[in-house]
Amino acid sequence: MDPKHLFYFSEIVRQGSLSKASDKLGVVQPTLSRIVKILEHQSGGDLLKRTRNGVTATSLGHKLADKGLEIHRQIALAEEEVSSWKTKSKDTINIGVGPMLAQSLFSSFVSDLLVDNNLPPMKVTTATAGRLLERLNNQEIDIVLAPSKLNSNQDRLVQEIMLEDEIGIYAGKTSRLIGLNRNITRDELGKQAWMVVGARSNIYEEEYEHFSTLGLPNLTPIISFTGDISMCLRLLQTTDMLVALPKLLTKHSNMLSADQELSTNLPALPRNVALWANANEVNNPKIIQFKKLWREWQIKTIQTNQEDSKN
């Protein structure tokens, strides 16, 4: 059977009339009548029943119409893919953003650019850092904003630091460690219940490495999150659990109060955000434009706010 015939037949059934289908498809009615006869001959049975108001499908006709609708859906998907490819190749920048950044600064960045009518066409994907870098390696997206320290295959990728940040320790609102006005010791931290975010996002190999990097090698988390950060932030509203998070991103998430960040005697641990790209795409005008917009926005908002808070 000709797939086009099935597609035309499905439209006849959907419209309930050969004349309406003729108008919709731009095909003369005698041609549609001939196609119905061909399909009936090929299938060995009647496909349409005539009524006062047009036509309806027989049981066999419905089955063939369903096949025609599936062909129509596949054609529509193919056209959408082609349209997406054309848009991507010309204007749209495809950006991968880690969950924590998406929850905080990146939404503000997009909002401010919209207000200024300065937002370039973009498609944003939020996923774990490891998954985003896989897609970047496969050239499915143009850039990734993710931590600069990743345990991942980076041979074909380059990175540029876009945001300097470091790890802080945060306590749930019911924790007795909040409000002590002193450094919390390693021993005290080691006795608390902990959560981990990004444990399997290629930021750390396993949970034990996460805590070992923080100088707390003997800790075992109660719960680990990979991907979505919002559940962890909500738990910090109702529990006494602890978690290590990037300070600047956490501040701009507006989900935690200032007193939930604990003072500790742990050494500073950088957690910078980098722009990752394929090495052969670093001079792509879309990427250059994005970096320019980000740095201008960062100077205008983040750095200005930081300077104001010091004064």
pLDDT classification of 204: cutoffs 50, 70, 90: very low
Mean pLDDT score across all residues of the chain:
84
Per-residue pLDDT for 226 more than 90? no
- Hunting for tokens 């439209």 — which residue is that? 11
Asked whether the beta carbons of 120 and 290 are under 8 A apart, the reply is yes
Among 46-50, 210-214, 272-276, the minimum mean pLDDT is found in 210-214
pTM attached to this predicted model = 0.65
Rounded alpha-carbon distances, angstroms, from residue 206 to 198, 202, 211, 212, 287: 10, 9, 9, 10, 32
H or E segment to which residue 142 belongs: none
All domains of the chain in start order, with CATH: 3-90 (1.10.10.10), 93-164+272-310 (3.40.190.10), 167-262 (3.40.190.10)
181 in the Ramachandran plot: left (φ > 0), alpha (ψ -120 to 50) or beta?
left
Q: What's the confidence (pLDDT) of residue 96?
A: 94
- Is the pLDDT confidence value at 77 over 60? yes
* Predicted local distance difference test score (pLDDT) of residue 89: 54
Tens of pLDDT, residues 3-28: 888 888 888 888 888 888 888 888 89
pLDDT at 205: 46
Residue-level pLDDT at 145 = 94
Within 10 angstroms of residue 213's Cβ, the number of other Cβ atoms is 15
Q: Could you tell me if residue 160 is left (phi over 0), alpha (psi between -120 and 50 degrees) or otherwise beta?
A: beta
Q: What is the pLDDT of residue 134?
A: 86
Residue 91 has pLDDT above 60, yes or no: yes
290's tokens: 């994005």
pLDDT of residue 289 exceeding 90, the answer is yes
Q: Which two tokens stand for residue 201?
A: 């996002």
Which tens digits make up the pLDDT trace of 117-172? Answer: 888 899 999 888 888 888 998 888 999 998 887 655 566 889 999 999 998 999 99
